[in-house]
Amino acid sequence: MEKEEYTYEDYQHTANWLRSKTTLQPQVAVICGSGLGGLTDKLTKAESFNYKDIPNFPQSTVPGHAGRLVFGYLKGQPCVMMQGRFHMYEGYSLRKVTFPVRVFHLLGVHTLVVTNAAGGLNPKFEVGDIMLIRDHINLPGLCGQNPLRGPNEERFGTRFPAMSDAYDRDMRLLAHRIWEQMKEQRELQEGTYVMVAGPNFETVAECMLLQKLGADAVGMSTVPEVIVARHCGLRVFGFSLITNKVIMNYESHKTANHQEVLDSGKNAAQKLEEFISRLMDCVPQTEKTC
């Protein structure tokens, strides 16, 4: 039976295993959401490891998530990228879902970039838009499902970490400057991401509720990783690719589906790769800003 709870030594064991397999020391970790795993193709001197071969790592079971950890350089920045993430709806505990984040921290990562595919709740959003995550609403967390639940490991962080500054403001400002340089037709969006447990897509009534709560985009991931990253003291930058507009009309014959999500990710791939590449070229270092 697989472990659902981990000791500090378990995280250290995985980090040591990875150190024994690669000499690259990543400064930035990127978690690639549904259909966004092509970002790893931009890495130079890449070294990849299947999740199934990494001690304590869960397995990714969702289409569009390749299940590989890839080390390499992006614009000279030493990175590690997750080509696929883990979700509550796969049956994993939130400790298991967020396991890689603490391993990254032990490897010396100082910045976590989280990406996801999301449904657009904001009526101003269009499919293909990129939304910088300014804040989040953790619906599972409000119901007691939190990755920090249970005994606190002080070697990672404090018992009660703040989340009011979860998404780094300087990184968002940098992203806006980069987007202006890219001269894209659509403006770079910014807003609040709400996490639902999934795996079903939302009902019309649920979408109406989420919109009233102030959410601009909805998805089934990201928030647990952000909470654990901030608990570890990592800088966090996140964005959502709007892959579909949520159904807000009972008369509509459209329904959300995962293939639409993957297709939208594929169509936006070139734009996303340039955006992230430019961001990595200017990502703030530990002791200085670009």
Q: Where are the alpha helices (DSSP H) in 40-184?
A: 94-97, 99-107, 139-142, 169-182
- Of the candidates 29, 51, 81, 87, the residue annotated as catalytic is 87
- 1 a catalytic residue: no
Residue 147 parent element (H or E): none
- 117 a catalytic residue: yes
- Of the candidates 46, 47, 90, 190, the residue annotated as catalytic is 90
- Of the candidates 89, 146, 184, 206, the residue annotated as catalytic is 89
* Per-residue DSSP letter, 137: E
- Of the candidates 116, 240, 244, 264, the residue annotated as catalytic is 244
- 146 a catalytic residue: no
**Three-state secondary structure of 210-268:** HHHCCCCEEECCCHHHHHHHHHCCCEEEEEEEEEEECCCCCCCCCCCCHHHHHHHHHHC
- 13 a catalytic residue: no
Angle 286-179-241 (CA atoms, 0-180°, nearest 5)?
90
- Of the candidates 34, 116, 138, 240, the residue annotated as catalytic is 34
* Per-residue DSSP letter, 30: E
Contacts of 99 (CB under 8 A, 6+ apart): 6, 11, 14, 56, 57, 58, 86
Q: Where are the alpha helices (DSSP H) in 111-222?
A: 139-142, 169-182, 204-212
- 34 a catalytic residue: yes
- 164 a catalytic residue: no
- 136 a catalytic residue: no
- Of the candidates 11, 29, 60, 65, the residue annotated as catalytic is 65
- Of the candidates 258, 267, 269, 273, the residue annotated as catalytic is 258
- 90 a catalytic residue: yes
Active site residues per annotation: 34, 65, 87, 89-90, 117, 220-221, 244, 258
